[in-house]
Structure 1
């Protein structure tokens, strides 16, 4: 059966698997004091800037919780979109484990603007309210949209002006960079982010992500966040004893020291090749559905809604659409995917179709044909 459910379904990329096998030779110091992790640190400084510090962890929720705990005091709050992963899909971990109040603001196609900061900064100094301490931005957003470099810079500047730190949940950061045609530094360090949850598993990794602490803006000095993360990583059970195997995956994706940090074609780092491919497959999927003439009447109009309707722009590796529930069930017999939200009417449903590094053109074309037949 095909899958368009999640990029987490994809297998480990062969280059990542080879990197794991390559470091599985002999003993190595545990808990990150190994040569592979040292090479990863050197590479992180090349990719994100000289002051960057990278800390491998076990999963994305752990990376987010550690990042937010490092960036906020115990009484702090985290401003985030109301559809952010930390708010909707981590079982309250930032609040349960991190002890931080999430301050949700309405999204527009997944994104939030500078007014999200203004909405909560009036609570600063009020002992009765959680104190806004961090602005958390999801890149790519939960709805598959991408913040521009300009938007990220404006959001970070607004947050910093109010005394807040900036966290980027980058579980699909690679896809955003591929969409924007920039390197990872241009949408993290250079826009003013303080700390990043760097995804790997959704982009060809086996397991493990990373917390990346960036500059605090004072010369090349590392942020004080880098002093907190090691202790938080251990306290939250995210420190792997055999860290070299997580580091090897991240290093395979980012590339060894001295190799290009961005680029195009076969010379590009693996993170970019994988992300660009999955983005291209999603664009092909949307284009194929559009070309098949499957879209129905305007949802704002009175006509009966019988066709396919796109819910959001396709800016990364995912397509959101609404269609009749009966048709969605017919498609589900051929490919696994998730229902995302109710549709425009009770007999319709919004679905998410996700592409991954291993999605092929044949997969996409076959899926388009299945959707067409179901409708």
Structure 2
């Protein structure tokens, strides 16, 4: 059974599997000192046309914590959305590894940080009694699947630059964001002026792996040591690199599929008056309130997360391998539940 729970429930795109099989035929140096990792660095350099230092890691939590660790001091505070993955879904790993304060900021009804909220959160700079905000972390897309436009990213960069704050971007679904915005990865990085950004591979169709790009020269100084310290340096680094090389050739096709299927699912849900969308559908996530009695029967057709139990808000996500047949099966169950509700209320 396929799932609407998360795009990390999906397997890998065929090209990634083929790349791993091909990579497995030879011996190469460990810890990133191999020709495949070098080819990935060169490929990204050609695509981005800006200087960076690349580190490959195993997972999203590792990407966030390692990347952020390159931006902080022992007395730092990291500003983030109250919905941020590092604040809500990474347990106590941020505090354990980084040893600094996370300060959650309120988001608007689209799940985004506003310029006013960001500006007001940067305070008591230079006050030794207060944790010093050194980094702002945002997600693109947000945890609600909404997007910062390129213009909004520029505005955020202007605020952080004005106050001497570094900018970190959690790009676990950055390929989906680029497709939804109709732009290239380079456009997001340049517009944001990010100091550190993660490029998510797992949710885009790799078996595992993320890339952390350090774009700030100061943050590069100790990044290799912090990479090792974070326990995210892979001995067989080339197997992450090989996956990324395959993904970079095909991400536009696969992320477009995920977004198109999400839009189709959105239209299916809109047919039913009992279902209320709670957030704009901008990438490959849908947030909606379902009738409570519908949730369990629908989860038997395709699993999905209950996001907010009190309001019966759920999250549905499509992946690169979501099919028409799966949408039709889900819609058939919706129609049945809707019909039963009409009969019971008549």
TM-score bucket (shorter structure) = over 0.9
Give, in angstroms, the shift of residue 101 of structure 1.
0.9
Partner SS for 1:185: helix
Give 1 or 2: higher helix fraction: 2
Give, in angstroms, the shift of residue 226 of structure 1.
2.2
TM (norm. structure 2) is 0.94
Who is 2:172 aligned against? Answer: 171
Residues 104-161 of structure 1 show CA distances to partners (whole Å, capped at 9, x for unaligned) of 1111121102223322222211111110011111001101101100001100110111
State whether residues 285 and 365 of structure 1, in contact with CA within 8 Å, keep that contact through their aligned partners in structure 2. Answer: no
Moved more, 99-108 or 168-177: 99-108
Who is 1:139 aligned against? Answer: 140
Partner SS for 1:239: coil
Who is 2:112 aligned against? Answer: 111
Who is 2:57 aligned against? Answer: 57
TM (norm. structure 1) is 0.87
Who is 2:329 aligned against? Answer: 366
Alignment of 1:201-212 (within 5 A): 201-212=202-213
Give, in angstroms, the shift of residue 371 of structure 1.
2.1
State whether residues 153 and 191 of structure 2, in contact with CA within 8 Å, keep that contact through their aligned partners in structure 1. Answer: no
Who is 1:160 aligned against? Answer: 161
Partner SS for 1:137: strand
Cα distance between partner residues in 2 of 1:157 and 1:92: 31
Residues 62-95 of structure 1 show CA distances to partners (whole Å, capped at 9, x for unaligned) of 1100111101112111111100111100012221
Cα distance between partner residues in 2 of 1:339 and 1:105: 23
Give, in angstroms, the shift of residue 343 of structure 1.
4.7
Cα distance between partner residues in 1 of 2:74 and 2:293: 48
Cα distance between partner residues in 2 of 1:96 and 1:123: 25
Matched, 1:294 2:272: yes
Who is 1:250 aligned against? Answer: 244
Residues 273-311 of structure 1 show CA distances to partners (whole Å, capped at 9, x for unaligned) of 211110111001001222xx312xxxxxxxxxxx11101
Count of aligned positions = 337
Who is 1:20 aligned against? Answer: 20
Cα distance between partner residues in 2 of 1:368 and 1:188: 38
Residue of structure 2 aligned with 1:272, choices 231, 252, 256: 252
Cα distance between partner residues in 1 of 2:49 and 2:196: 13
Q: Which runs of 5+ in 1 are unaligned?
A: 217-222, 255-268, 296-306
State whether residues 134 and 164 of structure 2, in contact with CA within 8 Å, keep that contact through their aligned partners in structure 1. Answer: yes
Who is 1:236 aligned against? Answer: 230
Who is 1:327 aligned against? Answer: 294
State whether residues 49 and 189 of structure 1, in contact with CA within 8 Å, keep that contact through their aligned partners in structure 2. Answer: no
Give, in angstroms, the shift of residue 228 of structure 1.
2.1
State whether residues 44 and 54 of structure 1, in contact with CA within 8 Å, keep that contact through their aligned partners in structure 2. Answer: no
Cα distance between partner residues in 2 of 1:369 and 1:212: 44
Cα distance between partner residues in 1 of 2:310 and 2:259: 25
Moved more, 91-100 or 147-156: 91-100
Residues 134-191 of structure 1 show CA distances to partners (whole Å, capped at 9, x for unaligned) of 1111001101101100001100110111000100000001111001100001111333
